Structure 1
């Protein structure tokens, strides 16, 4: 998420705007026994007040969806606070519903907080209803926002972009794609990323193909922890890379593989998908969220239903056996992703900011009894 914020921020700066990241150099948390995830939302309004007193005035404030409620509440009290744009990288309520459905599908335990009450969801829902504008990343989120009563004129759907480094590396690599093989999973080793389905699927494919290599990168856990989920007879062919430090390292990882697997039950719009597409990998993912907006099944990738281990296994097995098809899907994805630039994303975000500013001006004018 932070990478996306910096990439769009760079674009906005190029367009002539001034952008500050309050989670960076300005952020100073007070000592508290309360977990930071709960104190941060409460401190955002105070931080904006403090910066204003120091002469730092903002035209608009962008806040991540689960953190926006206290700021939106404070704006009702003090309308001199800048208008707020709520940015959702995957709606909290939809994430809750997706996890609940997935756990029931897999007969996993369901906590009371998941079923009835989740503080981040309550904060997010309040923010969505009371912010000046909402930015979301996929058409399913857009539709849900309208379903819960958010005016479509207060919604901007933005696509994530891909950095030029990946596009250039993919262009150079395309003629040599015959030399690539192996399957890559790139992401945190958590339930939401589909690890429960990935383990049996990839295990079966690796049993079918004794020379197949599989990489789990950026997982956030050490090798022993992740490998414990797999049978001993295939562990030697699984490479674990807990952390990735820079784009050069990431590009080298993509370069070594022909297939990306992303079986998440919920996402916003994963950067991994666009980067893999830029590098010409064939993508196997679920038919939901931002993946469904980009992947056309059988044309520039393969999609399967959430939790469908059999289809996931068959799709991966088919691509391993048919590298010509894998290259064809990868090349189609590489061509399509050329249009997904951070410049385009930044322009849409700037327009969303302007809509929030103009909406706030109209609201203040009406409160003062002024006419335009």
Structure 2
């Protein structure tokens, strides 16, 4: 039976971005299964601020699609609440439960983040989290990205296990093709791929870089996809380290794989994630991946088997794990080989079909 799926998220479908990449491959899988996939996103819903998106998206839905009545609304967490109670099944997808991240940022990991302004403390829960929480409580299906979020949804929103699916993100096929184990000697290149923001653990990176340099451990740093300009990021590092740091603020789809190939170690020191595409690509590239022990990193990485975990927020532990990888090249390579093997079944066409099957069950 052909279904009409209404996908609502404040993003652009784009095979070369983060959330946009996930949605792009979902769309492709739904259409290959014979379904209609309608996307309401950044290009379709014009707003001046993200707070306006849910109401404007619902208004456009009422204007153009309510009469047709889609079979399922596949809604990103922050827009999900406004579509509840419309007599259409709602599947909420989350790339990290936002209420959980907000609580962690303001309590457990408060010391690692910039202070939240009084205005944001008041307004953000109103314009963002109210919709999230309504959807998480009442959506027919929750598509979550890691087991920590699953546990949180069960405990906070009284959801049943049968209402929750942990979906898998994918890896581009060229990352899985012809991966050659590194036999490099000399200085290690440590890679980091993310926007340069504190949630991603950038403060830990600057501390670790200084500590390794003080110990005369010879490494280079490759920071890519940082968005912010090179000169702004370098200000956070001691001047004497600047020659050891390569920064690629943006890159195109043809450069992505080659950036990973330049690395020997990949780090993800984030305080909060959904299910990191950057980590999956590091694993698919056969790199020794060192990650913080939270969110989907715990689902993907088994310590000392297919990567290394460090205690979230502990730069000394992160430094120790990096030193372990640097000083043991054979062990490092073995971890990379195991990492690649553990994601070999995550081609986008495989994992996206899994999502299609889950949505078909609630239509």
- 1:293 maps to 299
Counterpart CA distance in 1 for 2:321 and 2:298 is 16
User: What corresponds to 2:23 in structure 1?
Assistant: 5
TM-superposed deviation, 1:202: 2.2
In the alignment, which of 330, 335, 338 is matched to residue 332 of structure 1?
Answer: 338
How far apart, in 2, do the equivalents of 1:285 and 1:333 lie? 12
Q: Does 1:42 align with 2:62?
A: no
Match of 2:41 among 23, 36, 55: 23
* Distance in structure 2 (CA, Å) of the matches to 1:215 and 1:254: 9
Residue 104 of structure 1, CA deviation: 3.6
Higher strand proportion (structure 1 or 2): 2
Deviation by residue 1:148-174 (Cα, 9 ceiling, x = unmatched): 212222211111111111111xx3423
Name 1:161's counterpart in structure 2: 170
For 2:106 and 2:334, locate their aligned partners in 1 and report how far apart those are by CA, in whole Å: 36
Gaps of 5+ in 2: 1-18
Corresponding residue for residue 359 of structure 2: 353
TM-score normalised by structure 1 residue count: 0.85
- Higher-helix-fraction structure: 1
SS at match of 2:83: helix
State how 1:117-156 maps to structure 2 within 5 Å. Answer: 118-119=125-126, 120-148=128-156, 149-156=158-165
RMSD: 2.2
Deviation by residue 1:38-72 (Cα, 9 ceiling, x = unmatched):
1110012222222227x765221211101222222
My pick for the range that moved more, 159-168 or 260-269, is: 159-168
CA 1:19–1:108: 2 relative to 1, 3 Å = closer
Deviates more, 1:254-263 or 1:129-138: 129-138
Q: Which has the larger radius of gyration?
A: 1
Matched-pair contact (CA < 8 Å) for 1:102–1:307: no
Secondary structure in structure 2 of the residue aligned to 1:340: coil
Instruction: Give the structure 2 partner of residue 93 of structure 1.
Output: 99
1:234/1:328 CA distance change after superposition, 3 Å: same
8 Å CA contact 2:45, 2:53 repeated in 1:
no
Q: 1:233 aligns with which of 237, 240, 261?
A: 240
Which residue in the other structure is 2:15 paired with?
Answer: none
Question: Higher relative CO (CA 8 A, sep ≥ 6), structure 1 or 2?
Answer: 1
Alpha-carbon distance in 2 for matches of 1:11, 1:338: 19
Partner of 1:364: none
Instruction: Report the 3-state secondary structure (helix = DSSP H, G, I; strand = E; otherwise coil) of the residue aligned with 2:71.
Output: coil
Equivalent residues, number = 341
Asked if 1:266 is matched to 2:272, the reply is yes
Cα pair 2:95 2:275 within 8 Å, conserved: yes
- In the TM superposition, residue 211 of structure 1 has moved relative to its aligned partner by 4.1
The answer to whether the 8 A contact 1:259-1:282 is kept is: yes
- TM superposition shift of 1:88: 0.4
Contact preservation (8 Å) 2:200, 2:270: yes
**Is there any run of 5+ residues in structure 1 with no aligned partner, and where?**
358-372
Moved over 4 A (4+): 105-108, 110-117
